[in-house]
Chain A
Amino acid sequence: MLNEGEVRIPSGCAISGIIDRTGCRFNGNDIIKSITLMHERSNGLGGGFAAYGIYPEYKNFYALHIFYDDFNIKTETDKLLFQYFDIAKDEAIPTQRLSTITNQPIIWRYFVVPKTSQLQDKRISDNDFIFNCVMKINKDYNGAYVFSSGKNMGAFKGVGYPEDIGKFYMLETYEAYMWTAHGRFPTNTPGWWGGAHPFTLLDWSVVHNGEISSYDTNRRFVEMSGYICNLQTDTEVITYLFDLLIRKHKLPINKAIQILVAPFWSEIEKLGNTIKNDLKCLRSVYSSALINGPFSIIVGCNNGMIALNDRIKLRPLIAATKGSKVYVSSEESAIRIICNNPEKIWAPKGGEPVIVLLEKEQI
């Protein structure tokens, strides 16, 4: 059977996310509880979490989480890393043995900053340097896979049910101001650790429930800007779209949303001239970035969280608030189990984002 990256694999899923707007940190118990409730929405072939604010002591370093198939490829990859980066610390990511989790790869993390000499040579920003490195390792280093590369954040994922993955990585020992989680129901996969969600790039993480029918259009669009779609998954391309629009093209979040889940022309026609013209420009210039097909996603970054549905809401997404916390999930029950009596609970409309920004930036 072919791995992800060698063949395109669509999948259905459960997603959940919690953020504390004030930046106050809490451990992974709640998010595990929430995603566990939606056990039926996944099939044991993938689960994962993204956690923001977990490495305050290394917050100025990029935290690279890497899967290795064996020590040979680790040695080879290490050569590249030590050549390109100043490495503050590297270690195996702590895990505990579980009967339900098998075939785990070597899981390593590195806290790095690009060597100044490297940056000068290449005349690019830190982020772009990391970006290029991640692309290079994932494309050229067969058996090594960078699955997390942001600052003060990390992805923890693998093959198994999400509750087991949570225990495996001992997420109750981490404290984050934002958690997202994913339980996977792929329709065709050998179950590869790298293929689990969240998919991340720099500080972006995406958990996703859906199958995007615009995949190849989106892929071709991001590839023109140097992104390499190694995994051939929807989540990967969605992450790249966010990175391209918001980080590289510096578009405000709301404009990026108007591209990814563009308002219908029939709605645009009803608007005033300036906004109508803006939307026409956005839709025509970025027409290939429109995400089509059913999806609900939770996107995390160092500024906060965006939860989003496709334009006609073909996948479930519920949001709730209580105090400084905002919850989003595939199912209402998965919120209520960790949040009694939410102040507000609602189903966002298709194409209507839930954007939760931190009150003060964490980095």
Chain B
Amino acid sequence: MSLDFNVPSFEVIRNEKKCIQCKVCIHQCSNMVHVYDEEDAVVYSNNNKCVNCHRCVTLCPTEALLIREYPLEFRKNTNWTRQAIKEIYKQAQSGGVLLSSMGTPKTFPIYWDKLLLNASQVTNPSIDPLREPMETKIFIGRKPNKLDFDNEGKLVTVMPPQVELNVPIMFSAMSYGSISKNAHEALARAATELGTCYNTGEGGLNKAFYKYGKNTIVQVASGRFGVHKEYLNAGVAIEIKIGQGAKPGIGGHLPGKKVGEDVSATRMIPIGSDAISPAPHHDIYSIEDLRQLIFSLKETTRYSKPIFVKIAAVHNAAAIASGIARAGADAIVIDGLRGGTGAAPTRIRDNVGIPIELALASIDQRLNEEGIRNSVSLIVAGSIRNSSDIVKAIALGADAVYIGSAALIALGCHMCHSCSTGKCNWGIATQEPFLVKRLNPEIMYKRLVNLITAWNHEIQEMLGGMGINAVDSLRGNRLMLRGIGLNAKELQILGVKHAGE
């Protein structure tokens, strides 16, 4: 049947007075939206192919292009929304599971925006980070309960391995395959320059990037793609990925068309084959199994690297986190409901899991009550959008944050939510050489460095305002937070008072 019930999502509006028919838009659109008509000497647009990635708008030299939501109105109905109807058309046509990319667009509460920070007035001077030292260095890894010194003052305690970070911000796991080699290079070089880490994701580590090992966290996920001894020893830490905030309980699927020669070699799978990560690790059906994997990895690396365990924020996250800490993990990574993804079933992304703020607060509280909070590091992810989100996360109890979407946005991502098509016009979520080329690592790593440098400066300003000169003193310092517009239960879970209290 040729009849497609779905109308376009977007409309491309071209200002003919401004269009100089330079065809830049035509050359740039991998979705073939723009077409040049030789006969009439005009450029026209196929609205139904447009994903609103802004590539053409950004590159148009005369600002002749504008994209807006397709203005066709459905009859007003708060229950049967345009989105709900369109999804049914789509599934009735395809018979398939709906797929989505990036974080959920649904209107779940964003608690970062309902928390306010404190500042010093009179009784306590604020500190100016331009004039006084303002420290943001942190260490990720297991900490002993106490340090012992002998009579001569020599340190006796053997310190477990730590990852030293100049800023409490890391780039979260995004695999080579889901994102391009150039994107990985930009992340790796930025992490190196900033003194932080990026994460390989479950796609192995390209040989060309072993040189960035001191700033690399290698991931071991359920598909075990690209995992071998050299890989495990290549970075400064190993992350076991159990789950992801955007798709708790679901595995991964890299379509065969993205598995070219290089991805194939890196992942250690045949060219063109689908890379399917199972939903669970099939050697981890329980917490004691996790312990075995943690210690297998420690053995392989001769106990020289901290092992992180990453889980999605789910209802029982606090108890699970406690189990993970006791299973021997050196750091726990929590990825929240609003976290991003290259591709996830829409229903899972939009309905499974809990917001990162609530998960973080309850995990930090639980570990504290059990007296083991100081022994593990806590890293949170899942839609950290700016520096104040980070400050609030640390005040709720995080040691550090991972950023994924924000890093990609710095690389040009315009959040069109079409990663899974493999046709990313910004050269990020694609393996097409002519698209990958658009992400020049030389230019882009500097943008990442700029972003984190700017954020870190903002963090320092906020710390200074609170009269704090080391990020250490912000961790778990919930007195620096007040809720706004939150109910008593939310305040209780977050462990903060309401503004005005």
Contacts and interface: CB of A to CB of B under 8 A. Distances in A.
A binds B: yes
A363 interface: no
A250 B151 CA distance: 11
A250 B474 CA distance: 26
Contacts of A249: 146-147
A251 B149 contact: yes
Contact of B472 (A280, A281, A287): A287
A218 B476 CA distance: 9
Given A266-B133, A294-B124, A284 B373 contact: no
Contacts of B123: 10-12, 187, 211
Given A220-B368, A224-B368, A211 B124 contact: yes
B150 to A, nearest CB: 10
B53 interface: no
B95 interface: no
Contacts of B159: 281, 285
A287 B475 contact: yes
A351 to B, nearest CB: 11
Interface string A212-237: 01111110110111000000000000
A221 B143 CA distance: 13
A265 B123 CA distance: 27
B141 to A, nearest CB: 8
A265 B139 CA distance: 13
Given A224-B373, A292-B468, A311-B469, A284 B155 contact: no
Contacts of B162: 284
A293 B149 contact: no
Contacts of A224: 368, 371-374
A314 B467 CA distance: 10
B472 A290 contact: yes
B271 to A, nearest CB: 45
Contacts of B477: 213-217
Interface in B358-394: 368, 371-374
Interface string A264-278: 111000000000011
Nearest to A289: B472
A278 B155 CA distance: 7
- Size bracket, chain A contacts: 35 or more
A238 to B, nearest CB: 13
A281 B137 CA distance: 13
Contact of A293 (B132, B135, B144, B467): B467
Interface string B200-228: 00000000000000000000000000000
A252 B467 contact: no
Given A10-B123, A224-B373, A251 B147 contact: yes
A288 interface: yes
A213 B467 contact: yes
A312 B469 contact: yes
Contacts of A287: 138-139, 470, 472, 475
B473 interface: yes
Contacts of A250: 148
B260 to A, nearest CB: 42
Name the interface size band of chain B.
Answer: 35 or more
Interface string B234-278: 000000000000000000000000000000000000000000000
B135 A288 contact: no
B125 A281 contact: no
Nearest to A220: B476
B129 to A, nearest CB: 12
B433 interface: no
B143 A285 contact: yes
A283 interface: yes
A223 B132 CA distance: 31
Nearest to A287: B472
A344 to B, nearest CB: 27
Given A252-B153, A292-B468, A213 B120 contact: yes
B144 A216 contact: no
Main secondary structure, interface of B, reads: loop
Contacts of B138: 284, 287
B189 interface: no
A8 interface: yes
Nearest to A283: B472
A278 B147 CA distance: 10
A292 B147 contact: no
B135 A264 contact: yes
A259 to B, nearest CB: 9
A223 B468 CA distance: 21
A265 B477 CA distance: 21
Contacts of A139: none
A284 B479 contact: no
B64 to A, nearest CB: 52
B87 to A, nearest CB: 45
B25 to A, nearest CB: 50
B450 interface: no
A59 to B, nearest CB: 27
B54 interface: no
Contact of A217 (B146, B155, B467, B475): B475
Contacts of B292: none
B480 interface: yes
A297 to B, nearest CB: 15
Contacts of B133: 264-266, 312
A285 B466 contact: no
Contacts of A214: 468, 472-473, 477
A255 interface: yes
A10 B155 CA distance: 37
Nearest to B137: A265
Interface in B466-501: 466-470, 472-480
Contacts of A357: none
A278 B124 CA distance: 31
Given A220-B368, A224-B374, A312 B132 contact: yes
B127 interface: yes
B143 A216 contact: no
A223 B372 CA distance: 11
Contact of A292 (B139, B141, B467): B467
Contacts of B58: none
Given A224-B371, A251-B147, A293-B124, A288 B467 contact: no
A282 interface: yes
Contacts of B475: 217, 287-288
Given A217-B475, A249-B146, A290-B470, 6 more contacts: A10-B123, A213-B124, A217-B477, A264-B135, A281-B155, A292-B473
26 contacts: A10-B123, A12-B123, A211-B123, A211-B124, A213-B480, A214-B477, A216-B476, A217-B472, A224-B374, A249-B146, A250-B148, A252-B153, A255-B147, A255-B153, A265-B135, A265-B137, A281-B155, A286-B147, A288-B374, A288-B476, A290-B472, A292-B470, A293-B467, A293-B473, A294-B124, A314-B125
> Ordered nearest first, which 8 A-B pairs have the shortest CB separation?
A214-B473, A292-B473, A287-B472, A284-B139, A213-B467, A216-B479, A249-B146, A216-B477
